[in-house]
Structure 1
Amino acid sequence: MKKILSGSAVAALCVAFVSEAAATEWNASVWGKRRAFTEHVEKLSELVSEKTNGDFTINVSYGGLSKPRENLDGIEIGAFEMAQFCAGYHRDKNRAITVLELPFLGVNNLDEEVAVSHAVYDHPAVKDEMAQWNARIIMTSPMPQYNIVGTGDPRDELAEFEGMRVRATGGLGKAFEAVGGVPTSVPATEAFNAMESGVVDTVAFAQHAHLSFGTINEADWWTANLNPGTVNCPVVVNIDAYEALPAEHREALDSSIDEAIDHYLANYGSLLDQWDSVLDEKGVAKVQIDDAVIAEFRTKAADPIRAQWIEDMSAQGIPAQDLYDLVQSTLEQQRSGN
């Protein structure tokens, strides 16, 4: 005997099919554990779900989808739709944005870091290079200037950096190398083991990472004001996945980026406010490097490394001088309030 659906039942089924078809589920590949460095990704996930009544969800995976150094490769092949990576992990794949990892750029705070990063991300050369990996950068992961933790006596003279084995990537690694250090670029997740086993003497991180990856627990001292630079870690989306989003979902994502960054900055500010108490709690000495030592470091590292970077990148067809000038002009605009 045939069963005939009523008009209302048919309508309900149609609505259900439409809702199912309109639902979007993305996976985001990050690493480590949830921490200040990933709060904007978490907030973005929360916001897009709220704005779409749960029709657009972003599942944040901490290492379950890819290794940190392979996140950009995963984006290229569409293994997941969103990912975070750091430029220093594969400088050959993201040459243009390594301008943001040059030592002693002069960035003073996280707001300035956001401004210069997003200005560089909007440059056509950066967009073109990222498109080669089917990637679109949507936001930065702003971090303060890196400082180092170490064991034993503090290294507060430049001569003491000679032979120092330091976990430092990108431009930071080159800066320490310029003053006799021996940089290694082990992933953040391996930094504690490298320090504990003596593979490295010191580790260069921003504050949140010293906490999250446990290097602060091995440390006897921390440099409060060395500030040689930082790393740049964008959040990217797969271009095909982004362009395939329904208009309302793309709008939910785009309109949530500034909110996610604001949340990140507020959260990170709270961590910085508590940093001195963290040092006290863990018995880590706060080392102030003499201004003359920092000036000597800058002289040996900043100008030569910048000049070499501009020469090398220009030879590869990257508008290096233009990118460096963009960083400086953005800093000027940011400080003038324009």
Structure 2
Amino acid sequence: MKTILRGAAVAAISFAFVGEALATEWNVSLWGKRRAFTEHVEKLAELVSEKTGGEFTMNISYGGLSKNKENLDGISIGAFEMAQFCAGYHPDKNRLITVLELPFLGVENLDQEVAVSHAVYGHPAVADEMAQWNAKLLMTSPMPQYNIVGTGEPRETLADFEGMRVRATGGLGRAFEAVGAVPTSVTATEAYQAMESGVVDTVAFAQHAHLSFGTINQATWWTANLNPGTVNCPVVVNIDAYEGLSDEHRAALDASVDEAIAHYLSNYGELLKKWDGILEEKGVTKVMISDSELDAFRAKAADPSREAWIADMEAQGLPGQELFDLVQSTLAEKKAMSN
């Protein structure tokens, strides 16, 4: 029996009564292919099914339900129940979580990235903004600091970045623009072709994406320590679908988030251990940017970007300063706990 929840067109949820059991089936919209970036979603589906005895299942689609830049729109109209998206794809729709894409925030590892992301996701103003799209933030997709790959002569100084065409979205794109580069926000799935055709000279990604989308196969060099920031890519659920779950199924979903994240972190950690060997195997040179050039990059990109972002949010009546402070205080607490 198909049921439309609270007037929303969430037709992909099907309910079937077997005795007292309520079967729930959700569609999940991802993109690309299964990779480190999606392992927490895969694990979540596995855990939820286990905890509910197979009564709550998720059909995970890699591009078959929506384009990646349209996943939030799909959630808003109930075309599917769960999706992943990246804030930089449509910053006007998710203004507040873009605080997590500001350059040089000081995040040092994936555990810290999870902490600051979930702190921001839990802020009432952030929840309210996402509710405008009928979306509830469920969990982050933590990624390490981005670095760039390119061909030809390595780019080792800020002067080398002048005029460099780089695939970089959101705050990262603005950071590169601040030092004279020319950012373009082609999607992850378009990055290889953009690099191959010469639309971009370089591509900024986390390690898994350079592997998954093939950009590492064209690269001759990689900036090992540029670390300008990362992108934030939440997993969201349709609010009507979430609230329409039985208490048991909702509890199973909520209780599986931390386990799914832990699996993601473990899996990504193994990839990072192998990264240097992958570079050597593919003949990619590691470029180490000097401390003086990194300091100059931060001076040009970090403070101006932060102040501009805060001013922009506050001008729209949004708590920009409060959210930036939340990121910093959460980060400080997390670092103190690990010392």
Give 1:133's aligned residue: 133
Shift of 1:103: 0.3
Taking a change above 3 Å as real, the CA distance of residues 271 and 59 of structure 1, as seen in their structure-2 partners, is same
Give 2:292's aligned residue: 292
Shift of 1:21: 6.3
Give 1:4's aligned residue: none
Structure 1 residue runs of 4 or more that deviate by more than 4 Å after TM superposition: none
Which deviations, in whole Å up to 9, do the C-alpha atoms of 1:18-40 show, x marking residues without a partner? 35960000011000000000000
State the one-letter code of the partner of 1:201.
D
What CA distance in whole angstroms lies between the structure 2 residues aligned with 1:182 and 1:288? 22
Provide the secondary structure at the position in 2 that maps to 1:144: coil
Give 2:282's aligned residue: 282
Provide the secondary structure at the position in 2 that maps to 1:39: helix
Q: Which residues in structure 2 correspond to 1:68-217 (within 5 Å)?
A: 68-217=68-217
State the one-letter code of the partner of 1:150.
G
**Is the contact between residue 21 and residue 55 of structure 2 (CA under 8 Å) also seen in structure 1?**
no
Matched, 1:325 2:325: yes
State the one-letter code of the partner of 2:228.
P
Q: Which residues in structure 2 correspond to 1:42-81 (within 5 Å)?
A: 42-81=42-81
What CA distance in whole angstroms lies between the structure 2 residues aligned with 1:205 and 1:18? 47
Which deviations, in whole Å up to 9, do the C-alpha atoms of 1:262-291 show, x marking residues without a partner? 000000000000000100111100111101
What CA distance in whole angstroms lies between the structure 2 residues aligned with 1:318 and 1:221? 41
Give 2:302's aligned residue: 302
Q: Which has the larger radius of gyration?
A: 1
After alignment, is 149-158 or 21-30 more displaced?
A: 21-30
What is the RMSD of the two structures over their aligned residues, measured on CA atoms? 1.0
**Aligned residue-pair number:** 323
Give 1:13's aligned residue: none
Taking a change above 3 Å as real, the CA distance of residues 243 and 300 of structure 1, as seen in their structure-2 partners, is same
Structure 2: 5+ residue runs without aligned partners? Answer: 1-15
TM-score, normalised with respect to structure 2: 0.94
Give 2:314's aligned residue: 314
Which deviations, in whole Å up to 9, do the C-alpha atoms of 1:111-132 show, x marking residues without a partner? 0000000000000110000000
**Is the contact between residue 195 and residue 201 of structure 2 (CA under 8 Å) also seen in structure 1?**
yes
What CA distance in whole angstroms lies between the structure 2 residues aligned with 1:110 and 1:218? 27
Provide the secondary structure at the position in 2 that maps to 1:141: coil
Which deviations, in whole Å up to 9, do the C-alpha atoms of 1:234-284 show, x marking residues without a partner? 000000000000111001100000000000000000000000010011110
What CA distance in whole angstroms lies between the structure 1 residues aligned with 2:149 and 2:117? 26
What CA distance in whole angstroms lies between the structure 2 residues aligned with 1:282 and 1:24? 45
Give 1:7's aligned residue: none
Structure 1: 5+ residue runs without aligned partners? Answer: 1-15
Shift of 1:331: 0.6
Shift of 1:94: 0.1
What CA distance in whole angstroms lies between the structure 1 residues aligned with 2:218 and 2:186? 17
Shift of 1:337: 1.6
**Is the contact between residue 17 and residue 23 of structure 2 (CA under 8 Å) also seen in structure 1?**
no
Give 2:7's aligned residue: none
What CA distance in whole angstroms lies between the structure 2 residues aligned with 1:195 and 1:32? 17
Shift of 1:193: 0.1
State the one-letter code of the partner of 1:206.
A
What CA distance in whole angstroms lies between the structure 2 residues aligned with 1:287 and 1:326? 33
Provide the secondary structure at the position in 2 that maps to 1:293: helix
State the one-letter code of the partner of 1:124.
P
Give 1:218's aligned residue: 218
Q: What is the percentage of aligned positions where both structures have the same residue?
A: 78
State the one-letter code of the partner of 2:250.
R
What CA distance in whole angstroms lies between the structure 1 residues aligned with 2:126 and 2:18? 38
Taking a change above 3 Å as real, the CA distance of residues 310 and 17 of structure 1, as seen in their structure-2 partners, is closer
What CA distance in whole angstroms lies between the structure 1 residues aligned with 2:126 and 2:250? 21
Taking a change above 3 Å as real, the CA distance of residues 20 and 333 of structure 1, as seen in their structure-2 partners, is same
What CA distance in whole angstroms lies between the structure 2 residues aligned with 1:329 and 1:21? 45
What CA distance in whole angstroms lies between the structure 2 residues aligned with 1:240 and 1:315? 31
Which deviations, in whole Å up to 9, do the C-alpha atoms of 1:56-107 show, x marking residues without a partner? 0011100000000000000000000000000000000000000000000000
Which deviations, in whole Å up to 9, do the C-alpha atoms of 1:172-231 show, x marking residues without a partner? 000000000000000000000000000000000000000000000000000000000000
What CA distance in whole angstroms lies between the structure 1 residues aligned with 2:337 and 2:220? 40
**Is the contact between residue 87 and residue 97 of structure 2 (CA under 8 Å) also seen in structure 1?**
yes
Provide the secondary structure at the position in 2 that maps to 1:23: strand
**Is the contact between residue 141 and residue 234 of structure 2 (CA under 8 Å) also seen in structure 1?**
yes
Give 2:11's aligned residue: none
